[in-house]
Amino acid sequence: MQRFAGTSLRGRTMIAGLMRSLLLALLWTSSAALSVAFTRHGGGLATVWFANAILTAFLLIEPRQRHSLYILVTLLLSFLFNLWSGRTEALALALSVAGVGEALIAAALMARLSPADRLFDDSANLLRFALSSVIACVPPAIMMGLVMHGVSGASWWQIAAGWITTHGCGLLIMTPLLIVLHRAARDFRPDRIRPAALGRSIAMLGLVAGTTALVFGQSTYVLSFLIVPALLVPTFLLRAPGAAGSVAIIAIVASWFTIEGSGPFALMPVSAAERVYVMQLFIATMFLCALPIAALLDERDELAARTAAHLANMHGIADRIGDVLFRIDDRNAWAYLNPAYQAVTGRSVAGAIGRPVLADLPQRDHNRFNHALARLRAGRIPHYAFTSQIVDALGVTRYIEFALHAGTFGGQGEGISGVFRDVTARTLIDMQLRQKAVSARRDARTDPLTGLPNRRAFFERLETRMEAGHALALALFDLDHFKRINDAFGHPAGDAVLRHIAAAASSLLKDGEMIARIGGEEFALLIEDRIAGAAVATAERLIAAIASQKIALSPELTGSPEGIGLHMTISMGLARSKPGQAADDLLAEADRALYLAKNSGRNQLKLAA
């Protein structure tokens, strides 16, 4: 089965190649006969030779495996045609080899520019295509010039020049036409045929033929300028097919009338051959006018299609993105908003367009926002980011992160574009985390029982003040016989006493002074010592105040029906800082003074030595 399928495929491929070869033979023979019949001038050389352009187009369009068959068919046809035209066998063979060689060179050069289907879509390729057409004609032109010089003694360079102009025009005109027609046939869809469009196309090409006949069918008036607008109409409306077809029509009609001695070139006082050369230059000029314009129009259409597709894609993305894309006009109003605006604010996009942006922002941000817009428009900054708030349609405050960029749009003055996103959830989480961090830092430096700074906070403050060189005094005190309270009433009662002492001591301190609980029933004081005796006075005042206070313990704490009242005393040791002294040394001095106060009867202050 596979062998049968492979054989069937090869058979179909062979039949397709033979059919294309027959088509090539028909086109080549018809073109050669028409070129000789309708464009031969007095010098015996065709005015425009299309036949080699047909082979060139086939070599560009068709698969490489068929090229050998096409070359053999063309060699045979060319040889027979030249024999039929009355040339000797040797000359017929030389002309055949030169013609096929020209097509091979042209196809090789043009294939390097672009794939055949895209050859005339890029305006940059057209000049290179024209140069390739001329260059391809040079080697066979020189060859045939030398051959004809040897046969008849004719000027070889005149023969070569005539070959280049005649065959070059054929390549310039027929190659684009065949490639464009091939692409149109490949993309042909019967259901896409519109009778009205087909009628307009025929009418436009008829206009070109009629205008060319009018210009070249008479020799009274020089009306060659009329051909240009007639050529531009199908070029603009039909693009490359219209341009290529129109140039081919102009070449055929103009050549016919010029050979017949009619047209604007017939008024020139030169030989018939020279008039033909001028006509060939005219045809080449028409080609170089029409095809580049068609290519530029195709490029514009392709660019417009890509741009439209890109814009549609971008609009699709903008409509689906969760962030709000916006533009602000020169009146500081919303000029564009994507659908995400309604999702964020609960307000319609249509209702927001044209409304001042400041209407969505809190009053406190108005000055900052206006200042940012002014700096962006003045070019002092390329972009600006800030966080603000918007109250949505339900009255919920949302935190919004803005990113503004300077730009213009629509040719309507300067504008600002950018994006904003709802960061409410993130902001609230950040606030909670910051609050927790602050609480954690505070808890790490606070005694949970009394609310006073703890040992860590106190000694950080002590070291900082001493490193700064402040004159200060450090006092340590603890509660006398505090253990008896815990033993008699329990730790809850002891905790109540500690809280009372902490509150009483804190109320007696001045600004800049600090009290901390540094462990158990032990407290520390940091007192300014800029005035002689001030620290001692503060310490003695604190000892006296606590001794005079009565601490009430509730029945729940003591177990007695009416509760009890306690009087507590404290023992304190105080050390004054010295220049360059370390905090640990100062602490040791205060601790020794406290030990001395406790051993000396308690409820008193002792100063470090």
Residues 439-462 as b/e (b if ≥16 CB within 10 A, e otherwise) read: eeeeeebbbeebebbbeebbbeeb
Looking from the CA of 287 toward its CB, the CA atoms found within 13 Å total 25
Give yes or no for a contact between 173 and 287, defined as CB atoms under 8 angstroms apart.
yes
Between CA 256 and CA 216 the distance in angstroms is 9
By CB neighbour count within 10 A (0-12 exposed, 13-18 middle, 19+ buried), where does 152 fall? exposed
Give yes or no for a contact between 571 and 603, defined as CB atoms under 8 angstroms apart.
yes
Give the DSSP H or E segment for 519.
Answer: strand 514-519
Residue 559's contacts (CB-CB under 8 Å, 6 or more residues apart) are 489
Three-state SS at 121: coil
Give yes or no for a contact between 241 and 184, defined as CB atoms under 8 angstroms apart.
yes
**For 342-467, where are the E strands, in sequence order?**
383-391, 397-408, 414-422
556 is catalytic: no
Q: What is the DSSP string of 235-299?
A: HHHHHHHHHHHHHHHHHHHHHHHHHTT-SGGGGSSS-HHHHHHHHHHHHHHHHHHHHHHHHHHHH
Give yes or no for a contact between 273 and 42, defined as CB atoms under 8 angstroms apart.
yes
Q: In the structure encoding, which two tokens stand for residue 298, read together?
A: 């195709």
Query: From the candidates 62, 102, 521, 589, which is the catalytic residue?
Result: 521
Give the count of beta carbons closer than 10 Å to the beta carbon of residue 241. 19
Give yes or no for a contact between 492 and 553, defined as CB atoms under 8 angstroms apart.
no
Between CA 211 and CA 229 the distance in angstroms is 10
DSSP, res 581: -
**Catalytic residue numbers?**
521
